[in-house]
Amino acid sequence: MKPKVYITRKIPNSIVEKIEYTCDVEMWEEENTPVPREVLENKIQEIDGLFCLLTETIDEELLEKASNLKVISNMAVGYNNIDIEAAKRKGITVTNTPGILTDTTADLTFALLMATARRLVESSDYLQKEEWETWSPMQLTGQDIHGATLGIIGMGRIGEAVAKRALGFDMKVIYHNRSRKPDIEEKLHITFVEMEELLQSSDFLCVLTPYTKETHHLISKEELSIMKNTAILINTARGGIVDEQALYQALVNKDIWAAGLDVFEEEPIPVTHPLLSLQNVVSLPHIGSASVKTRLKMCEVAAENLTKGLNNEKPKHVVI
Ligand code: NAP
């Protein structure tokens, strides 16, 4: 008998067909609505493998209901939506999709940095609202990117790819990471600094760590108060790393100049959220890895991880 698999969102047929070679597949057929919790609670009881997204909370309560589950394949590099310890206790393999989305996410991070620094969204709105009456010397002026200091927290795969892009813009790159990266320092001529110096010296601060207990609210009131009042915060990692209330206050008080956010503590962020009312915030709906090529590749790799795990082969990307 083939192992039973549940896919929590509609994915391309070509990939479903590949999974069907070795598995019995059921899928939540909606493209834009997450699978309801009750449905997942029901399905989890009978399946051997789960293909899920970061929109599903795979917590201990849910895992307790699973009796045959062997593999959880997350279609993301981050896996903060899964209770890893609970999965480990149950002997379930958890896989993710690192690497393939690195450059696409670094591109978006840099695009967001540029859009925020040069007020692209605000300027486009200004034109559309027919407010553009003349050219004037200080109209819609932003911050320079070239020659500025970029601070990166989390010099992993995406951090390194963002650093590479920054060098092309003649930026000075400094970073902080829980472990030093001498190879990357040498290769890219970037400098490790302590967190306080990173906060003090950065014109742009990019958050690129995973979201864990240690990184929860890593950027909060105190950190924001150390930053330059011309500084721009860019978060394309996970919302919970930045304390949004503290960020709102820092932006209103002009303790920092602007923020570019692709991720939020609650997703989707309610449109009534105070942060979205600020003109110096550029906000995106978690599109870091959203290129056609990369999203297809992520589906493909998540499918491969799942089928290998269920067929007694070692998946390529094992978290635990
Ligand atoms: P990665 O290669 O694992 O890099 C993460 C880096 O963060 C590592 O260098 C790690 O240090 C460092 N780190 C971990 N905890 C830290 C802490 N407490 N303080 C300082 N540094 C810490 O991961 P990645 O592929 O670059 O991805 C990073 C994150 O980006 C993912 O976890 C995901 O949440 C997010 N992401 C978002 C999108 C999006 O759509 N917006 C897309 C892709 C990824 P060590 O080297 O010591 O382990």
Residue 319 domain-assigned? no
Task: Give the model's pLDDT for residue 119.
Answer: 98
Residue numbers of the domain that contains 129:
102-283
For a ligand 1 pocket test, name from 109, 188, 208, 294 the mutation site with the most ligand atoms within 8 angstroms of its C-beta: 208
Q: How many residues does the chain have?
A: 320
In angstroms, what is the span from residue 142 Cα to ligand 1's centroid? Answer: 29
Instruction: Report the C-alpha gap between 163 and 151 in whole angstroms.
Output: 9
In angstroms, what is the span from residue 77 Cα to ligand 1's centroid? Answer: 9
The 10s digit of each residue's pLDDT in 236-280 is: 999 999 999 999 999 999 999 999 999 999 999 999 999 999 999
169 and 306 both lie in a single domain: no
In angstroms, what is the span from residue 137 Cα to ligand 1's centroid? Answer: 41
Q: What is the mean pLDDT of each run of 10 residues along the chain (320 residues)?
A: 97 98 98 97 98 98 98 98 98 98 98 99 98 98 98 98 98 98 98 98 99 98 98 98 98 98 98 98 98 98 98 97
Strand partners, 149: 172
211 and 301 both lie in a single domain: no
Residue 6's Cα: distance from chain center in Å?
24
The 10s digit of each residue's pLDDT in 27-40 is: 999 999 999 999 99
Which residue minimizes the CA distance to atom 39 of ligand 1? Answer: 288
Would the pTM count as exceeding 0.75?
yes
91 and 112 both lie in a single domain: no
117 and 71 both lie in a single domain: no
- Could you check whether the bond before residue 210 is cis, i.e. omega within 30 degrees of 0? no
Q: Which structure tokens are listed for 241?
A: 């790393």
Say whether 282 sits in a helix, a strand or coil: strand
Residue 71 domain-assigned? yes
What DSSP string runs through 138-172? TTT-----TTPEEEEE--SHHHHHHHHHHHHTT-E
What contacts 182, CB < 8 A, 6 or more positions away?
none
Which residue minimizes the CA distance to atom 27 of ligand 1? Answer: 158
222 and 276 both lie in a single domain: yes
The 10s digit of each residue's pLDDT in 250-259 is: 999 999 999 9
With b meaning 16 or more CB within 10 Å and e meaning fewer, what string describes 225-249? ebbbeebbbbbbbbbbbbbbebbbe
Residue 317 domain-assigned? no
